[in-house]
Amino acid sequence: MPEKLKTYYAPAERAHPLQLEKDARMFAENIILAKIANSVSSMLVILNQQRQIVYSNALFLKFLNIADNNLIIGKRPGEAVNCMHAYSDTSAEGSCGTTEFCRTCGAVGAILEAQMGTKSERECRITNCSNEALDMRVTATPYHENGNNYTVFAIHDISNEKRRQMLERVFFHDVLNSAGGISGLSSILQQINDPADIKEIAKTINRAANNMVDEIQAQHQLMAAERGDLEPEFVTTTSLTLLNDVADLFSKHETVKDKILHISKDLDDILVYTDPVILRRILGNMVKNALEASPPKATVMLSFLEKNHSIRFSVHNSSWISREVQLQLFKRSFSTKGAGRGIGTYSMKLLGEKYLKGKVWFQSSPEKGTTFYIAVPKKAGSK
């Protein structure tokens, strides 16, 4: 009996090539199935017991921008859509469905439930190897044919819906809150005569207005990045300038409150060729997340070092992230802060890797806390 392949979640084994070919031929020759499958408005595939594709409709092929069904026969759904975890260094021997990250994947969960005989509908978030985010609603339904069990797997792309929810969150939640604060403080100004009090309130209004503008600019930048329209402007700056800019930005931010934001001492300033606006945005998201996760009187530490022709910036805090949350970070719609949030870590990855040509990652444990990193090339063209 062959040894079982390593897996962190779903079974890793695949069907014998001859059986796979037989299944694919059976469904390809089913004219009635083809007419029905190509008449519905959903992307649809049929999976064998090993979660491999044995049939797909035209809409799914169009979504993948391929014309030949045979190009995806035998692949698992995550492999077909180029999920980053299906092809990562952490993938187990069976790829899609077998990594530790797959434990939180709605698509795999729905398929496994269907294989137990229960129709299942779930949402799943996928980031592909190009750092493009896909949000999908999937329905997995048990199907029996010629003595074998299969799964009819229907896919709805809800990425636009999730983007709209995110945009509404920004304008109806964050921006409205900032505008409300500005309005309230402005009305108070009319009732105050003390010049010192007026000056202090004016500063608070200015900070709130700047925060509101920054939130709008961040969303605009992210939308441009997702469309592929963002054009980085690379210039030479210094590592300490970048960290000082970020520290100054958050020195009066509401998230600091009674916490300490600190830059490591004795750092040698290093020249770096990058887009400072984008890099400050990424570091700012790291700092904001660290401050929000930290208890009162805790310290958030900013630092950097030169390593392998790159500059590695880091933001550390003493809190740690549970493993379940770690597995879902960097997904566009995932957040621990409530529905409609989940934009910071995703934008770090997209902007840092796709546009700055760097690498974004994190480490977290109860003993050492959490550190987010971004490594960017030190010079033009370096890696």
Supply the pLDDT for residue 337: 55
Supply the pLDDT for residue 336: 56
Contact 41, 29 (CB under 8 A): no
Supply the pLDDT for residue 334: 61
How far apart are the C-alpha atoms of 161 and 144, rounded to whole Å? 33
- Which parts of the chain have pLDDT scores under 50? 90-92, 338-342, 383
Supply the pLDDT for residue 342: 46
Supply the pLDDT for residue 341: 42
What pTM, to 2 d.p., does this model score? 0.72
The two tokens of residue 112 are 């496994």
Q: Is 174 helix (H, G, I), strand (E, B) or coil?
A: helix
Supply the pLDDT for residue 25: 95
3-state helix, strand, coil in the chain (%, to 5): 40, 25, 35
CA distances from 173 to 95, 178, 287 (A): 39, 9, 21
Supply the pLDDT for residue 319: 94
Supply the pLDDT for residue 61: 96
How far apart are the C-alpha atoms of 321 and 330, rounded to whole Å? 13
- Closest by alpha carbon to 20, among 155, 150, 107, 152? 150
CATH of domain 17-157: 3.30.450.20
* Architecture label for domain 231-383: 2-Layer Sandwich (3.30)
Beta bridge partners, 155, equal 43, 138
Residues 6+ apart with CB under 8 A from 94: 5, 6, 7, 10, 11, 12, 13, 14
